[in-house]
Structure 1
């Protein structure tokens, strides 16, 4: 006997797939780069209008000021007599700059639907809408659904974090509609530490008076190997020096040089180790001065006491769909890391099936949308029991 209405949700979404894809096209057509508050603020009312059109006016609505970033929209739709609240957490910002749609509009080629932000993660928003819509139309009892939309996930969630954490504290569970891993959910993600190293040197003429200068570029070049050496493969800690810049000309001893460092950790203890090591770095040339700016951006997401239960519910919904639901560990981070860091129940990777997030081949598989929507609906339904 089925334990959820997942199969019926899948069938409903399949029958109305053209409507679902129209919804997705509407969201993809809104350019929402993370660093453009003006574009994010222009898009948010249109996103909300779409949500209200499909689901009706929410029972509760709060719009949080995002400061220099886009605002956070927090909406709650009442359930059907089941106590409690499930949070669906998504972001409406993308990595794609304004103008990307001009030469890369949403296109479909058979099962492949490609476009900027289609997978990461506007399809996740659409799937949340249709999961709730389908549960309603099928008369399936379910708890309140709280949709939290953040606007700076791609750049660290500094504005979104306090609001998503507050929502998660009151929830039966938080479900993250970030892209799936070929249909698998994500139960483990790495944490992130960002570091910016800036060396201040002494400028001089490289030919006429080289000894009068202290090269910031040379000093940074000496420091980079020490930074890279912080990696520990056995503990799954990786280090990437992503950018280096400095100097003003070939014939000038550089007065300034910088590098941006990305460190990923799985073991929470590694965060303190790498931060302490970064703070202990010193220039070898006493005429140079080093500044280290550190952002402990996201804690790692590791399986907790709630993980087995949520994974079991996902697998039960998958069984009703005739599919096996696997779980995976990934190196990327999401807003789910913050929820996991609080020890709260969270399941990630419930969004679209596809590939290429942040790349020009970003796409979602159309055939996977009914499955993933049904999986999400099955989880929401069970969490109310």
Structure 2
């Protein structure tokens, strides 16, 4: 990686862009647009909606109706503004570059865009190329999912620059993700003088949480998690309301349907209380199809030519935009981004030495996927 490229990546990291900071996300989109100015790349900017930043659709390569190679990166992060000043300063320590979003996934987005630009300049693309840069992946891509699926249906392959796993492994399958919100409504009362008149929403929520957590089945790859809860108004008041979200992870679409029905079917134990559930599967499971398996074999052969061994990781628990393309039958390769560790933590880092070979792999994929 050249010193100029490393300096540019550092600028990206300094530009904090949590999902709901529209100004920060849009500044990242400005940086990408500027990066493409000296290349034969058509840039379409999609205005953000519902308090989200803009998206970019970049097009290059042969001008034909042939299905494209779709590359996808997101530039939103989970780290709030100020993280780089307080908790995770940008620094380079040996081969490690630390900073908010460097691993998930500004490092991978940056080098993939460089490879895209290089292939566009050389006119060496095997097919039309489309690069989608999104602002909302970290919250489930509510704005860009229709764009992803539309572009996916017109593509032959999808390449996703989420970070590599466990020492550089690639991703060929992911669990599906469901998100639900549960509201329990009881009856308020004075905890001292009218205790018997109250119906404790937190007590009922606790019973519901036990039922939800009991749905976890490790053998089937099903996990259910209640990680937050809120309710009540005062220590001496029987709480009328309690709210909590539910995170669901599944391996198969059938389990997604079954667990969705079970969670939505929750009912109060006490007839004087009410349980309301909203939500659905947020990302469908990304299963390793025959086409994805062939795509991985092709990438592995290219990596061997470059000089490194490409290994597929076990099924990833986290979702990505690759779930959407895989679910509609597009051969999808994920985890093509930077190697490193610490995604979503204050120890996040990427390995500088992983950038050049992975950029070369992305370039060769764009040149050879026919």
The alignment's TM-score, normalised by the length of structure 2, stands at 0.94
CA contact (8 A) 2:33 2:43 kept: no
Matched, 1:173 2:130: no
Matched, 1:367 2:353: yes
Matched, 1:114 2:98: yes
CA contact (8 A) 1:80 1:142 kept: no
CA contact (8 A) 1:60 1:77 kept: no
CA contact (8 A) 1:191 1:264 kept: yes
Matched, 1:95 2:81: no
CA contact (8 A) 1:313 1:382 kept: no
Report the Cα offset of residue 122 of structure 1.
0.7
Unaligned runs of 5+ in 1: 1-13
Matched, 1:144 2:118: no
Matched, 1:192 2:172: no
Aligned residue for 2:366? 380
2:55 to 50, 72, 88: 72
Report the Cα offset of residue 89 of structure 1.
0.2
Quote the Cα distance in structure 2 between the aligned partners of 1:78 and 1:288: 60
CA contact (8 A) 2:28 2:75 kept: no
Q: CA offsets, 1:244-267, max 9 Å, x none?
A: 111112111111111111010002
Aligned residue for 1:358? 344
Matched position secondary structure for 2:171: strand
Matched position secondary structure for 1:157: coil
Quote the Cα distance in structure 2 between the aligned partners of 1:67 and 1:282: 32
Aligned residue for 2:217? 232
Report the Cα offset of residue 81 of structure 1.
9.6
Report the Cα offset of residue 142 of structure 1.
3.6
Report the Cα offset of residue 83 of structure 1.
5.7
CA contact (8 A) 2:61 2:120 kept: no
Matched position secondary structure for 1:349: coil
Aligned residue for 1:257? 242
Q: CA offsets, 1:115-173, max 9 Å, x none?
A: 00011111122111222344467774543321101111000101010111111111221
Matched position secondary structure for 2:228: strand
Report the Cα offset of residue 299 of structure 1.
0.4
Aligned residue for 1:25? 10
Aligned residue for 1:204? 189
Aligned residue for 2:29? 44
Quote the Cα distance in structure 1 between the aligned partners of 2:70 and 2:254: 29
Q: CA offsets, 1:257-279, max 9 Å, x none?
A: 11111010002111111111112
Quote the Cα distance in structure 1 between the aligned partners of 2:123 and 2:264: 57
CA contact (8 A) 1:80 1:141 kept: no
Distance 1:166 1:139, change over 3 A: closer
Unaligned runs of 5+ in 2: none
Q: CA offsets, 1:332-363, max 9 Å, x none?
A: 11000000111112110000000011001111
Matched position secondary structure for 1:90: strand
- How large is the Cα RMSD of the aligned pairs? 1.9
Distance 1:64 1:173, change over 3 A: farther
Q: Which moved more, 1:66-75 or 1:359-368?
A: 66-75
Distance 1:143 1:22, change over 3 A: farther
Quote the Cα distance in structure 1 between the aligned partners of 2:120 and 2:54: 29
Distance 1:357 1:273, change over 3 A: same
CA contact (8 A) 2:229 2:245 kept: yes
Quote the Cα distance in structure 1 between the aligned partners of 2:109 and 2:366: 15
The alignment's TM-score, normalised by the length of structure 1, stands at 0.90
Aligned residue for 2:110? 126
Quote the Cα distance in structure 2 between the aligned partners of 1:134 and 1:72: 22
Report the Cα offset of residue 64 of structure 1.
4.3
Aligned residue for 1:11? none
Quote the Cα distance in structure 1 between the aligned partners of 2:228 and 2:139: 16
CA contact (8 A) 1:27 1:47 kept: no
CA contact (8 A) 1:193 1:297 kept: yes
Matched position secondary structure for 2:305: helix
Report the Cα offset of residue 61 of structure 1.
2.3
Quote the Cα distance in structure 1 between the aligned partners of 2:286 and 2:75: 22
